[in-house]
Structure 1
Amino acid sequence: PMLEFHGVTGSNSRSELERAVNYWTRSDIRAMVNQYKQYIILNIANEWGGSTLSDADWKNEYKESLTTLRNYSEYRDLLIVIDSNEWAQDPAPVKTYGQEILNHDAARRSAHGGPNAANVAFGIHMYGRWDSSNPSKFHVSNELATFKNTCNFPIIVGEFGYNHNNGNNNLGCTVSHTEVMSACQTRGYGYMAWSTDGNDSANSWLDMMDNWSTWTWWGLQVRDNANGIIATSVKCSLFGGGSSPITIYADALASDWANWSWNSTVDLNNSSPVKNGTKSIKVTANAGWSALSLRKGTAQSTAGKTKITFWVHGGTGSNKSIKVYASTADSGGDTTGKIITATANTWTAITVNLSEIGNPASIKRLHFQNNSSTSQPAVYFDDIKLE
Structure 2
Amino acid sequence: MKTTLKSFVTAFVMAAVLAVPAHADMSVRDGQVVESSGAPFVMRGINHAHLWAPNRTNQALKDIAATGANTVRIVLGNGVRWNRTSERSVRRLITQSKAAGLICVLEVHDTTGYGQTGEGAPKDAATIAQATDYWIGIKDALIGQEDYVILNIANEPSGNGVADSYWVDEHKAAIVRLRAAGLKNVIMVDGPNWGQDASKTMLQRAGEVFESDPLKNTMFSVHMYQVYDRPEVVRAYLDGFRSQGLALIVGEFGPDHEGEPVDEATIFDVTNAHGIGYLGWSWSGNGPKARNLDMVVKFNARHLTPWGDRLINGEGGIRATSKPAAIFRNAPEPKRGLFSRWFRVD
Shorter-chain-normalised TM-score: which range?
Answer: 0.5 to 0.7
CA contact (8 A) 2:112 2:194 kept: yes
2: CA distance between counterparts of 1:209 and 1:33?
Answer: 30
**How far, CA to CA, are the matches of 2:238 and 2:290 in structure 1?**
26
The 3-state SS of whatever aligns with 1:9 is coil
**Rounded Cα–Cα distance in structure 2 between residues aligned with 1:15 and 1:197:** 24
CA contact (8 A) 1:48 1:83 kept: yes
Residue equivalent to 1:190: 277
Write out aligned runs for 1:241-320 (5 A): none
Q: 2:175 aligns with which of 53, 66, 78?
A: 66
1:257-287 deviation per Cα after TM superposition (whole angstroms, max 9, x unaligned)? xxxxxxxxxxxxxxxxxxxxxxxxxxxxxxx
Aligned CA-pair RMSD: 2.0
Q: Give the structure 1 partner of residue 186 of structure 2.
A: 79
Alignment match of 1:34 (pick from 125, 130, 143): 143
Find the aligned partners of 2:289 and 2:126 in 1 and give their Cα distance: 29
Determine if contact 1:95/1:151 at 8 Å carries over to the other structure. Answer: no
1:2 corresponds in structure 2 to: 105
Q: Which structure 2 residue ranges, 5 or more long, are not aligned?
A: 1-103, 117-124, 332-346
Q: Which has the higher strand share?
A: 1
Q: 8 Å contact 2:197–2:203 — kept in the other structure?
A: no
The answer to whether the 8 A contact 2:253-2:281 is kept is yes
Q: Aligned residues, how many? A: 217
Q: Match of 2:132?
A: 21
Q: Is the 8 A contact 2:111 2:126 kept in 1?
A: no
Partner of 1:99: 207
Q: Higher relative contact order at CA 8 Å, sep ≥6: structure 1 or structure 2?
A: 2
Structure 1 length as normaliser, TM-score? Answer: 0.53
- For 1:186 and 1:230, how far apart are their aligned partners in 2? 16
Which residue of 294, 307, 312 maps to 1:223?
312
Paired AA for residue 181 in structure 1: F
In structure 2, what is the Cα distance between the partners aligned to 1:241 and 1:173? 43
Deviation at 1:94, TM superposition (A): 2.0
Separation in 2 of the partners of 1:160 and 1:41? 19
Q: Is the 8 A contact 1:161 1:173 kept in 2?
A: no
Alignment of 1:307-346 (within 5 A): none
CA distance 1:216–1:15, shift in 2 (3 Å)? closer
Shift of 1:95: 2.5
Q: Which residue of the partner structure matches residue 254 of structure 2?
A: 161
Quick one: which of 142, 148, 170 aligns to 2:236? 142
Equivalents in 1 of 2:203, 2:233: separation in Å?
A: 15
Q: Offset of 1:142 from its aligned partner?
A: 2.3
